[in-house]
Structure 1
Amino acid sequence: MFERHGEGNGENGTSPASTVPQGLSRARARWVSRSGQPAATCRRLEETRRPQWTLDSEVKDVLLEGELVVELIRLNDFLREHCGPRAVVDEVHNVWLGVFLMDPDAYVQDQQLLGQILDLEVYQLLQRSQKLLMDTMKLHERGVHRLEQWWGFERKDMCTPLARLKINAALKVAPKEGGEEMLEGFYDSVYNARWHHLVEVPEGEWMGMMVREGKPKQSWTYRAVGGILEKDDSVEQSGAPRPRLMVLTSDKGWPYSWILENSTRDCYVNCEVERVWQIVKDDLTEWFSSHGESEFTPEQRVLIGMPGIGKSMNAGSYLLYQLLHYDVKKLQVVAYRIADRTFMFDKATQNVSHYIGKEAGLKAVEEFSGRGMRGYIIHNVAEPIHEPFFPFASQGMVHDCGDAAGGECRQRT
């Protein structure tokens, strides 16, 4: 009755028949592979036909590989097959099996029968498949269709532990190294991102909000307090409306979203995101000042997801935009690294090159550094395993630990 996805269980290496519940011989005879071959044949071919996962593999295939297919049958058909001919419910509760799996208590009122169902190994396997199917749908709704898109997905905790385990296991065996790939039009999209801003405007006794095109005439002002920049609310805005939010729109999105689908094209900049840029800009000013230039070591800073920063979606994207607009005579290249991907922005040629894997990214940075080019690295630490790398003294760096609970932009020691 129930087929399995794929040729075998990709998680534990067992054959389809090996996990069939004991005493279910009738069902076992019909558990075949997606190709329609008998289970015995699948066992013989399993070792040579296991999936070879790549970064282009479908998340759906990874999650459902080796799992039972929830067939389009009625609940009573399932009960007669596995609990006996008298184990039935009334027609009102005789729903599709997939509906029953989502809420068993609602459709089986007999507690003794319900307990018998819940103890069935085939039921437990079907529940497992149902949960993985739900995980697949959630990921698809958020634009995660392929393995490579999982790297930059920031809501991994919305999936079940089993789903995360299967995806991460597939990523471990998927080839990750790749050469240079030029991304046409992406440099211009980021460099020419369009500005809008949200301002407060008085409306009688109330304050309203208005969206305006372009940059605001007055932005936020900061002052140094104990070596840390803080927003200075005491500075008057010369009568100009106070900005509450700035928005940068890139037609092709931002680097963190280039491995996702249906991701936002907007980068939201509030006073905290702007504060991060002011800190980095001060570092650059010191770096390129005339005194001690030959001995000065660029700052390496850690940005730990404090409230208002917006992780890489805002802070990292905004830093990239500002660094691309920084004087090209002083700063020639910007690297944006997320997960196992490195995007190299060559300001001289106004091109973006894309590299997969740590070694490929390091070689790219080494090549630019070897040509005497100065650069800045933005490293979004998507997962703890994606440790930052600090390869050369001619690079400034911010690495964004976006999942941390709190903190500040500070120098790495």
Structure 2
Amino acid sequence: MKFTIFNKIEDELLKGRICVKEVRLNDFLTRELDGRGVVDTNWNVLLGEFFEDPKKNIRNKGALNEIRTTDAYLRMEIAVSHEAIFQKDVRKLCDKGVNNLLGWLKAAAAVKAGVHNLTKNALDAALEEVRRQTTEAPVILEGLYESVYNARWSHVVELPDDDKTKTGTGMEVREGKPEQSWTYKKVGGILERMTMWSNPVQHLPG
């Protein structure tokens, strides 16, 4: 899921999952526990109702204790509990006008203090992820190649006669732009622009 400052509070907390408390008890027992504890009278019982009072729907004490020790039961019990907390806090925040992460960012301390720590931690983590994605996002300039955007300037200069014999080239590349883009020499009574060694050269990253 992509994090943005305009993501809805409900989407951040529930992550688009099905409402687990509205799963039917017998469907859960059949799928996760091979049908242990299934009773014909429980086909319309939802998990939200079941976890409020498990003994009401599974009266066989031995079967209930066995079910309660399974990982599937414990995971679902936690999921139903967290979902109930999130849904309650979503309603609280919406009543305060906090509908998305931007609203949570701007919310008063009293508003944030009014929700469960699970909710607060989840929304704070989502905000931190938005900040991280924003900080790490590359700079994209429309219509420009990255190599051109990151290019640096250098320029070629002609060396004095003494240095020509040392380098064997008569010129060298120096970083940065030249003090002036052209050099001039006097030809007769006029100044003629030199176009050879003083042209700036733009180096592109390799």
Q: TM-score, normalised by structure 1?
A: 0.26
| Structure with bigger gyration radius | 2
Question: Whose relative contact order is higher, 1 or 2, with alpha carbons under 8 Å and at least 6 apart?
Answer: 2
Q: TM-score, normalised by structure 2?
A: 0.48
